[in-house]
Structure 1
Amino acid sequence: MWRKIGLFIRYNVVIKMWMQMRTPCELVVKLVLPAFRSLVAKTLIEKYHFSQVAAAQKLGTTQAAISHYLYSKRGDKRIKQLEAIPSIQSAVDEIAFGIATDNFSPFDAMLKFCRLCKDLKAQNLVCELHKDFLVVPESCDLCASAQKIT
């Protein structure tokens, strides 16, 4: 029993250390990108009448992932939060339109998402997400400093 407790404690320490070292970019990839991809998939299917298979092919994922995006309640709160941000909704619409009309390559979509991420950092929205998940000092300026890196 003590061995299990020791393993549990070590596991929790490792997880806490890992969480403390999470960068804002990691949180974007883990939390924002899947929700963003879900919004693009929903737009392709609802607005442009793509099948789940066609949307999956265009987004480089599986039909099962698309089905999960459409019908899962997990992550629903985050998706609703993202939908309320005008720059995100605009990027979703632009990427979905580009994909639907074959005017967007996968590279164009990635570039658009990277620009969106940079805009979200400039608006301090990524900072808010970072602070929601980690104890971050009030004086933290990681996102602003990262913006200056060329």
Structure 2
Amino acid sequence: MREGGLLRPRCELAAKLIVPAVRALVAVRLVERYGMTQVEVARRLGTSQPAVSYYVHSKRGRALIEALTRDEVTQGLIDRLADLVYRGGSPEELHLVLCEICRRVRASGMLAQLARGRAIGRALAAELGRRPLKGSDE
């Protein structure tokens, strides 16, 4: 039970870390590839237009988003998820693909690598007597 710790299921970590990054990537694809408006995307994703705007333009969380885009298999799954959202796939289909993405991310070690990078950044900032830079996923 190392990954999530005692009483912290893997899906809880996924909901806090992976799902927002996946949602951001799906929102960008729906806007850029399918030509959907932010309002349409918000309706499909069950969120607000300002949230979609934030996903499309935000720099926050970029480390995980960039890690997700570097992995071809994960990229393909995110493309499949965006296509399902666009075509109006069933909640069951959407959840199956999202679960597959989360399993892939956990198995790949992406989260552990990012956590190590953040820990190094915090330690360096502490050593220098500074706060971590704004926009550095802190």
Global fold match (TM > 0.5): yes
- Determine helix, strand or coil for the equivalent of 1:35: helix
Q: How does 1:64-79 map to 2 (within 5 A)?
A: 64-79=50-65
With the length of structure 2 as denominator, give the TM-score of the two structures.
0.69
Matches of 1:88 and 1:130, distance apart in 2: 19
73, 94, 104: which one aligns with 1:119: 104
Q: State the partner residue of 2:94.
A: 109
Change (3 A) 1:129 1:20: farther
Q: How does 1:35-114 map to 2 (within 5 A)?
A: 35-102=21-88, 104-114=89-99
Change (3 A) 1:107 1:133: farther
Between the aligned residues of both structures, percent identity stands at 36
Q: Alignment length, in residue pairs?
A: 115
Change (3 A) 1:132 1:110: farther
Change (3 A) 1:92 1:85: same
Change (3 A) 1:74 1:119: closer
Task: Give the CA deviation at 1:133.
Answer: 7.5
- Determine helix, strand or coil for the equivalent of 1:50: coil
Question: Unaligned 5+ residue runs, structure 1?
Answer: 1-18, 135-150
- Give the aligned residue type for 2:79: D
Matches of 1:46 and 1:86, distance apart in 2: 19
Question: Unaligned 5+ residue runs, structure 2?
Answer: 120-138
- Determine helix, strand or coil for the equivalent of 2:35: coil
- The structure whose Rg is larger is 1
Alignment root-mean-square deviation, CA? 2.6
12, 18, 31: which one aligns with 1:32: 18
Matches of 2:117 and 2:63, distance apart in 1: 14
Matches of 2:107 and 2:77, distance apart in 1: 16
Matches of 1:48 and 1:39, distance apart in 2: 13
With the length of structure 1 as denominator, give the TM-score of the two structures.
0.64
- Determine helix, strand or coil for the equivalent of 1:45: helix
Change (3 A) 1:55 1:123: same
Retained in 1: the 8 A contact 2:63–2:114?
no
Change (3 A) 1:114 1:132: farther
Shift >6 Å, 4+ stretches: 130-134
Matches of 1:133 and 1:20, distance apart in 2: 19
- Give the aligned residue type for 1:95: L
